[in-house]
Chains A and B, each alone.
Chain A
Amino acid sequence: MKRIYVNEQWCLGCHLCEYNCAFANSGAKDMARALMNVRINPRIRIEENNGICFAVACRHCTEPLCVKGCISGALSIRDGLICIDTDRCVSCYTCVLSCPYGAIMPSDGGPMQKCELCTKNALGVPACVTGCPNKAIVFEER
């Protein structure tokens, strides 16, 4: 399965992936309107410290601890993709406690959110990858 991979040495720390993620999942047509004066809550997050920076998003693990630990059955694997059914999520945070990457977090509305590789929004290909100016985030089969 194609996954998102991060090349730390190419990351500029520009945070465009975070903005592209937030925009792609906002459902809005205009990026400036969607994100202006909004505190974004993206599914991909940049970690930075002392000149080092890199993006972290769901790894779509083959043995996903978030899915195995999910108390409601809201998290599931569909053709390798780790999906969340926000209707069934009760925000218990067991997935937050289980994910080794810290890649699942509450949405603004309550239920958890995670990277679903832009399969549920209009793009169909990961917006963070498309918008990365330095190929620090790639979408490929490894």
Chain B
Amino acid sequence: MRYVIIGNSIAAAGCIEGIRRADPDGPVTVVGREPYHVYSRPLISYLLLGKTSRERMLYRPADFYEKNGAALLAGKSAVKLDPAAHTVALDNGAELPYDRLLVSTGSRAFVPPIKGLDTVGGYHTFITVDDALALDRAADKSANVLIIGAGLIGLKCAEGILHKVRHVTVVDMAKQVLPSVLDEGGAAVLQKHIEAQGVELHLGVSIDSFDGKTMLTADGRRLPFDVLVVAAGVRPNVELVKDAGGAVNRGIVTDNCGRTSLPDVYAAGDCAESYDISLGGSRILALLPNAYMQGECAGDRMAGGDLTFDRAIPLNATSLWGLHMTTAGTYAGTDVLTTRGGTYKRLFYEDDLLKGFIIIGNVERTGIYTALIRNRTPLSTIDFELICEKPQLMAFSKAERARQLGGVQ
């Protein structure tokens, strides 16, 4: 069996390891747009902070491809997929035949069409290591940096460069920071913390236009800057599958084995949708753990294994300037809010199930909450008061504890 993987990030690494669960020998070819060994993209802000290095941010050891019998074609892109012929055409004219194909093409920065953007003289995005290095070169001690987007990418970018530059301003159309991750109350806690670091936030603001290195907002503010970063979201790279006639909604449609609607073509990671059990519907879960697990499952299936990926939920662990946050699931149903000891904690439950949570501050052991969502544990089978107090195995029955701590999962 010949395997081809398009994309060389986390889902691809998961796929290689998944393939090797079931097939120790079949040749694997990985096509990666960036000329690098697989590295962790979420670490680019840590690279700017000096908390990691180019070497340490490699996601797998240097001998990863060799040890797994995989050939990396780095710096190459796939341009066309022919599902009938089972071939992929590359940008250098080569054609790769495959028996099983994984599309893990990820996503790209979305740059909204803003009037006058062409007068700025260039802008940055913050997705790849090259993006981070380019920003690092442009952002010196005297630079005023303006970031469009107070989502995870924009705020992690702000954290990464704040110490290197004169001033950082973040603008977002949403009325709160991390609009896709936090509720209003949690966002207020985080906002206060961010502003205490000296970052200037303009929230609930629409951008009207750019006039050279000045941003004009719809409500009349003029925000001058030296360096502009666009972190206004991402768009999934679905074209390869879409152009070949495969089913695509917002992301590439996959089943719980990672299969697309095209024969022998699988998809995983930020370009693909998965079934979110906390929501009860499919969506793109552009999160690293999801990319790995979806890729691993697809790889295992491509090689004839029987893994399934049927417990996906949104998961975010984030820290910003030392403040830790963990969130998971869907914020629906009844909620319990506590703010004990400086920790903001909101649990959401519905139909006897924990659906989601937002915790800012003391996040210790929150994986116990995540497991309740993932495993759809009926809340009636645990001590609800104890579990609301803090994440603890004490909330489970004695028999369940004996199973969890006395066996192998």
Contact = CB atoms under 8 A, between A and B. Distances in A.
A96 B366 contact: yes
Contacts, number: 135
B222 interface: no
Contact of B40 (A52, A73, A142): A73
Contacts of A6: 405-406
A90 B43 contact: yes
B409 A62 contact: yes
A142 B365 contact: no
Contacts of A5: 405-406
Interface in A92-142: 92-102, 104-105, 142
B364 A69 contact: no
A57 to B, nearest CB: 9
B317 A100 contact: no
B59 interface: yes
Contacts of B293: 68-69
A99 B409 contact: no
A3 B292 contact: no
Contacts of A66: 367
A15 interface: no
A101 B59 contact: no
B56 A102 contact: no
A100 B42 contact: no
Contacts of A52: 394, 398
Interface string B33-54: 0000000101100100001100
Contact of A72 (B40, B371, B392, B404): B40
A91 B405 CA distance: 26
Of B365, B392, B407, most A-chain CB atoms within 10 Å: B365
A69 B292 contact: yes
Interface stretch (B230-238, B269-277, B318-326): B318-326
A101 B368 CA distance: 6
A96 B364 contact: yes
B389 to A, nearest CB: 10
A102 B326 contact: no
Of A3, A95, A99, most B-chain CB atoms within 10 Å: A99
Contacts of A96: 317, 326, 363-367
A8 B402 contact: yes
Given A62-B409, A87-B56, A93-B324, A101 B393 contact: yes
A72 B14 CA distance: 13
Contact of B392 (A47, A90, A94, A142): A47
Contacts of A90: 43, 46, 51-52
A92 B289 contact: no
Nearest to A45: B365
B158 interface: no
A11 B52 CA distance: 41
Contacts of A71: 40, 42-43, 288-289
Contacts of A73: 40, 58-60
B57 interface: yes
A107 B100 CA distance: 43
Contact of B317 (A60, A63, A87, A97): A97
B342 to A, nearest CB: 17
A102 B365 contact: yes
Given A3-B408, A47-B394, A62-B408, A97 B402 contact: no
B318 to A, nearest CB: 7
A72 B405 contact: no
Given A5-B406, A59-B405, A73-B60, A102 B368 contact: yes
B392 A97 contact: no
A61 B391 CA distance: 19
Given A100-B371, A102-B391, A102-B392, A93 B40 contact: no
Contact of B288 (A62, A91, A93, A94): A94
Contact of B367 (A7, A60, A100): A100
24 contacts: A6-B405, A8-B398, A8-B402, A8-B405, A47-B392, A47-B394, A49-B392, A59-B404, A60-B408, A62-B408, A65-B367, A71-B43, A72-B56, A72-B59, A73-B40, A73-B58, A90-B51, A92-B319, A93-B319, A96-B365, A97-B317, A101-B404, A102-B366, A142-B408
Given A96-B366, A97-B328, 9 more contacts: A6-B405, A6-B406, A7-B406, A54-B401, A69-B315, A71-B40, A90-B43, A92-B318, A101-B404
Interface of A: 3, 5-8, 47-49, 52, 54, 56, 59-63, 65-66, 68-69, 71-73, 87-88, 90-102, 104-105, 142
- The 3 A-B residue pairs whose C-beta atoms are closest, nearest first, are A102-B365, A69-B289, A100-B371
